[in-house]
């Protein structure tokens, strides 16, 4: 299953070492790590700032043939202090990671844009790129907003993350994705979803954080959305499902990997 990353939210309870080992068992070639709490109090497994733990995790990743793709999740909130993520950026760079995931949840646009530009500049110091993820339950939830943010901040190391669930729930379509300049697309996160549209931000968050479906097991137009992306786009599997919470970590990763592989094989055979 080349080119697929296991996103940390899929099995958010797994500490970094367990997630790396599970990713290998699930047939993934890379992982994402949550090193930044999206909101105060959200779970984060310790790593940033611990040189010994970073070195140990790097050895484990090499032993399992797993690379680091991205780190999460830098939410731009009114109280955000961009400099506070520097230890996470250092850890990401030390482990060979490529991207920092950013979401915008600040209604003051000028502050949001300023903080995004600062995060991008900090990431560039470590040779990292940043991806802004339009998130259905956040202030920045549409592709047009992400395009405007990139145009305003002019960060050379920035792009847009396409999350299939957030796209559909925010009202985007394959056509609106295809209308993007391909050069603006950073990477994609895929999952599936049911037919019911949550009615408010709390419902959207609850679905996104724990009630998604695995690729090919719901009703989202995944093939159409993936067709709208550049053919070589990097894909992460972000699919925290109710089913996976009841499985041991390794079994959950294997279930997610097998389902994604079946979906991708069926897609290739169309």
The rounded Cα 143 to chain-centroid distance in angstroms is 16
Residue 182 CB neighbours (<10 A):
12
The answer to whether 192 and 223 are in contact (CB under 8 A) is no
Count up the domains in the chain and report the number.
1
Nearest to 217 by CA among 171, 258, 166, 161: 258
Nearest to 4 by CA among 262, 250, 257, 236: 236
What is the number of H-type helices and E-type strands within the chain?
11, 8
Provide the residue-wise pLDDT of the chain in tens; the chain has 270 residues: 357 999 999 999 999 999 999 999 999 999 999 999 999 889 899 998 899 999 999 999 999 999 999 999 999 999 999 999 999 999 999 999 999 999 999 999 999 999 999 999 999 999 999 999 999 999 999 999 999 999 999 999 999 999 999 999 999 999 999 999 999 999 999 999 999 999 999 999 999 999 999 999 999 999 999 999 999 999 999 999 999 999 999 999 999 999 999 999 999 998
Structural domain for 112, as ranges: 4-268
CA–CA separation, 231 and 240 (whole Å): 25
CA–CA separation, 130 and 184 (whole Å): 11
Nearest to 233 by CA among 71, 69, 66: 69
For every residue of 214-242, DSSP letters joined together read: -TTSSSS-HHHHHHTS-TT--EEE----H
The answer to whether 10 and 240 are in contact (CB under 8 A) is yes
CATH number at 105 reads 3.20.20.150
């Amino acid at each position: 299953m080349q080119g697929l990353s296991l996103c940390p939210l899929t099995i958010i309870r797994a500490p970094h070492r367990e997630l790396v080992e599970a990713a290998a068992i699930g047939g993934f070639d890379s992982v994402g790590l949550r090193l930044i709490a999206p909101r105060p109090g959200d779970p984060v497994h310790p790593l940033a700032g611990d040189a010994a733990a970073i070195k140990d995790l790097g050895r484990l990743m090499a032993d399992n043939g797993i690379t680091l793709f991205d780190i999460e999740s830098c939410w731009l909130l009114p109280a955000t202090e961009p400099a506070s993520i520097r230890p996470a950026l250092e850890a990401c760079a030390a482990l060979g990671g490529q991207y920092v995931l950013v979401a915008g949840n600040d209604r003051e646009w000028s502050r949001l844009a300023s903080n995004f530009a600062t995060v991008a500049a900090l990431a560039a110091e470590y040779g990292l790129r940043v991806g802004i993820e339009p998130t259905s339950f956040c202030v920045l939830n549409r592709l047009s907003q992400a395009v405007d943010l990139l145009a305003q901040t002019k960060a050379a190391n920035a792009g847009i993350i396409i999350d299939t669930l957030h796209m559909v729930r925010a009202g985007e379509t394959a056509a609106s994705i295809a209308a993007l300049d391909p050069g603006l697309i950073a990477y994609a996160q895929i999952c599936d979803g049911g037919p019911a549209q949550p009615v408010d931000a709390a419902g959207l968050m609850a679905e996104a954080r724990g009630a998604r479906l695995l690729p090919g097991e719901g009703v989202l137009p995944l093939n159409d959305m993936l067709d709208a992306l550049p053919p070589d786009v990097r894909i992460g599997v972000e699919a925290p499902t109710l089913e996976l919470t009841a499985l041991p970590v390794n079994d959950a990763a294997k279930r997610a990997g097998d389902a994604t592989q079946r979906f991708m094989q069926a897609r290739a055979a169309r």
